[in-house]
Amino acid sequence: MVLLKNLHPPTEGVRHEQAETTAVLDGQRLGCGTLYVAETRLSWFDSSGLGFSLEYPSIGLHAISRDVSAYPQEHLYVMVNGKLNKENEAEMAEKAADDDDDGSSDGGDDDEDEGAITEIRFVPSDKAALESMFSAMCECQALHPDPEDDDSDNDFEGEEYDVEEAEAEHGHADIPTFYTCDEGLSALTQEGQATLERLEGMLAESVAQQYHMAGVRTEETKAEFEDGMEVDTAAMEAGQFEDADVEHW
């Protein structure tokens, strides 16, 4: 059996709770229980209190699966780095009992090698809840960046993306922490904005060719200049090349 004892569900910071959810771990059906998407960790418990917890840094990927021909029910797919086995889970149980608030348990990392993964499927009886479960996990993942990133994160003020500000300004209810092409640059921090402007200044200095950002060719450019010449007409000023009869290449 893969289940643990003596763990209790989180009481604080629960972004989403989904009852009547079956957990399937590496193909083994663990039974029906409740999934807790909490800010500290992801956990699942059945009615007798048996369950398991996952630390977000160990979750490499999660997704909603809707293709019933590949798996018979719609579910939340979670890919965990490394293997969960009895030994590691015993460690996790001890640590969880001692340090309830400690979100940095490393149980399960000992046996991790690069290729080994654990697949978990959370199958809720209410399929309409899948989007909320997915979004809640995305939000909680963003709360647990890699510790190594802290050294290079000196430019950022705080860890959290300004969710409410971005939402209020741009009305993105479903993916508030992410920058999509619709969002404005004002969602960046002041330092981030300054850096972005500096980068764009550097890019604008580029003599031969001009781009929107970071050297990416836009689709418009591709369509217009199939001979390979990459000129961004939007950035050109007053047709600077029009009076030159020289062929550009």
Partner 1 sequence: ECFKKKKKQPTATLTVQLTLACVSAPQLFYSFFKSLVGKDVVVELKNDLSICGTLHSVDQYLNIKLTDISVTDPEKYPHMLSVKNCFIRGSVVRYVQLPADEVDTQLLQDAARKEAMQQKQ
Nearest to 2 by CA among 108, 87, 122: 87
The single residue among 47, 99, 165, 215 that binds partner 1, judged by CB under 8 A, is 215
- Residue 85 makes contact with partner 1 by CB under 8 A: no
**AA letter at 164:** E
The single residue among 9, 83, 103, 179 that binds partner 1, judged by CB under 8 A, is 179
- Residue 236 makes contact with partner 1 by CB under 8 A: no
Residue 44, classed as helix, strand or coil, is strand
Q: What is the DSSP letter of 249?
A: -
Q: What x/- string results for residues 29 through 58 when contact with partner 1 is judged by CB under 8 A? A: ---------------------------xx-
Cβ neighbours, 10 Å, residue 13: 14
Element (H, E) at 149: helix 149-152
Spatial contact of 24 and 30, defined as CB atoms under 8 Å apart: yes
Spatial contact of 83 and 112, defined as CB atoms under 8 Å apart: yes
Q: Using CB under 8 A, which residues numbered 119 to 178 contact partner 1?
A: 119, 134, 137-138, 141-142, 145-146, 148-149, 152-153, 155-156, 161, 175, 177-178
- Residue 103 makes contact with partner 1 by CB under 8 A: no
> Residue 137 Cβ, how far from partner 1 at the closest point, in Å?
7
Nearest to 188 by CA among 176, 198, 196, 180: 196
- Residue 225 makes contact with partner 1 by CB under 8 A: no
Indicate the residue among 46 and 189 with the shorter CB distance to partner 1: 189
> Residue 76 Cβ, how far from partner 1 at the closest point, in Å?
10
The full DSSP string for 96-114 is HHH-SS-----TT-TT--T
- Residue 116 makes contact with partner 1 by CB under 8 A: yes
Q: Using CB under 8 A, which residues numbered 192 to 211 contact partner 1?
A: 192, 195-196, 198-199, 202-203, 206, 209, 211
Spatial contact of 81 and 58, defined as CB atoms under 8 Å apart: yes
CA 129 – CA 34 distance, rounded (Å): 13
Q: Which residues bind partner 1 (CB under 8 A)?
A: 56-57, 59-71, 77, 79, 81, 114-117, 119, 134, 137-138, 141-142, 145-146, 148-149, 152-153, 155-156, 161, 175, 177-181, 192, 195-196, 198-199, 202-203, 206, 209, 211-217, 222, 230
